[in-house]
Amino acid sequence: MQGRFYDIYQETLSQWKAVVASSVGGMLEWYDFVLYGYLAPIIAAHFFPSSKPFLAQLATFGVFAAGFISRPLGGLLLGHIGDRYGRKPVLWLSVVLMGGSTVGIGCLPDFAQAGILAPFLLVSLRTMQGLSIGGEFTGSTIYMAELASTKNRAYMASWPEFGCLCGFLAGSGIGTLLTALLTEPVMYEWGWRIPFWIGGGIAVFGVLIRQHLYETEAFLSIEKSGEVPILLAFRHYWKVLLQMMFLVMASNVSSMLVLIYFISTYAKHTSLAQSYWVSNIGLAITLIMTPLGCMLSDKIGRKPVLYMVSAGLLFGSFPLWWMLHQSNVVLTAAGMATFSVLFGIGLSVSTVTVIELLPTELRCSGVSVGYNLCLALFGGTTPVIAVYLVHSHNDIYAPVYYLAFASTLSWIAAWLVPEMNGKPLYTKQTFPTRQGRTDKTS
């Protein structure tokens, strides 16, 4: 009896080590991405000085988008490593790349010190971050999904997303703390560098804990073919890749629109401290809804949850956007909270759903490229598109039409994908073709 309890204890301990290890990479990466968005006005002043604030803001968010645009390339490279050499090497390499580039941004000279070299270096480091995150989030989520049972796969796979949101909250929390401790001139002069240096400590912890991970049985059991996994994915599963892109579109567009674009513009009309507190409300709710939404999808299925999120964003986007732009901070916070419930559930459930759509042999490559193409084309560019739409139409509601369009596509994608709740993950031998036969391509 004692030996049985010890085995259960060891298994539980091993699972939670995997949870922490899979979460820390996403935490670091989104900690930095959120810092960049929240510190956009300060970064614009240091690296893109301009007499026209619109152009400086556009350039700053353009660099933000560059980190997302490089994600598909990172997904291609790290996804290939994951399918060829294992999930574990991807998780270690991605956190090393992200940690180095995060510390590097905190050490950069600004435009006054280095001229045009300063924004060039900033773009280079943001691109390196994009490469690392292109394989990190999907790699860690796949790792947890392959470790989990069919009964709680969504819940276990939600922890990397939970880690990302912890990074969101940590980045926002650090920003709030620094604005409280430092004066605004000090924050603009050198205080903005401190959060990026803190990211180096998170990276060191991530490297140490990921050294003790073990490989998934799903990867160890596959027979590797001679073909490049991503070429197989594009050749035989291109429709699935398109479904992936549109499935995750609404949640990512809405989160980027609210947590990055809105907060940066809201900060211009209020104090930095108040904008951070509003964002923290949204982040805390999103954090809570991530595992809860996945637990719900483990009970009732992925598709009903995805229908709910897409419909909520489609029909609720206009009134919620109106609430965000009211002078009453209570209304603003309520709008932020409701948005956060929707995309908090959608981000996690849509991610585990796309993981379930491809066989093990090319899961890392296919999911990394399909997921990151969506973020490169639609997610990371959302702040830039929002700035352009508002400026060109002189209408603060213009970005909502873009969100409504994304929500419609996500609803259609949710209707098209199969329900995989409670079913084992696909292998190449069990993947169904359109005619209902099994796919035995190699």
pLDDT of residue 6: 46
CA-angle at 113, arms to 108 and 116, nearest 5°: 80
Overall average pLDDT of the 48-61 stretch: 65
* CA dist., res. 93 & res. 100, Å (int): 11
Tokens representing residue 83 in the block: 């399918």
Please say if the pLDDT value at position 251 is more than 80: yes
Q: Check whether 437 has a pLDDT greater than 50.
A: no
The domain containing residue 274 runs over which residues? 11-217+228-416
User: Are residues 405 and 317 in contact, defined by beta-carbon separation less than 8 angstroms?
Assistant: no
**Residue 270: partners with Cβ closer than 8 Å, 6 or more residues away:** none
Alpha-carbon distance of 234 to 236, in angstroms, equals 6
- Domain assignment of residue 30, yes or no: yes
Q: Which percentage of the chain shows pLDDT scores above 70? A: 88
Q: Which is higher by pLDDT, 296 or 369?
A: 296
pLDDT higher for 133 or 97?
Answer: 97
Average pLDDT over residues 142-164: 92
Please, what is the average pLDDT of the chain? 84
> Would residue 422 count as lying in a domain?
no
How far is residue 307's CA from residue 251's CA, in Å, rounded to a whole number? 12
Q: 50 or 112: which carries more pLDDT confidence?
A: 112
Residue 281: per-residue pLDDT: 86
Tell me, yes or no, whether 96 lies in a domain.
Answer: yes
- Predicted pLDDT at 430: 65
Question: Mean pLDDT over residues 226-233, rounded?
Answer: 85
The answer to whether residues 65 and 380 touch, using CB atoms and an 8 Å cutoff, is yes
**pTM beyond cutoff 0.75:** yes
Number of domains the chain is built from: 1
Q: State mean pLDDT over 313-319.
A: 94
pLDDT tier, 439 (very low <50, low <70, confident <90, very high otherwise): very low
Identify the CATH number of the domain in which residue 384 sits.
Answer: 1.20.1250.20
Confirm whether 223 is domain-assigned: no
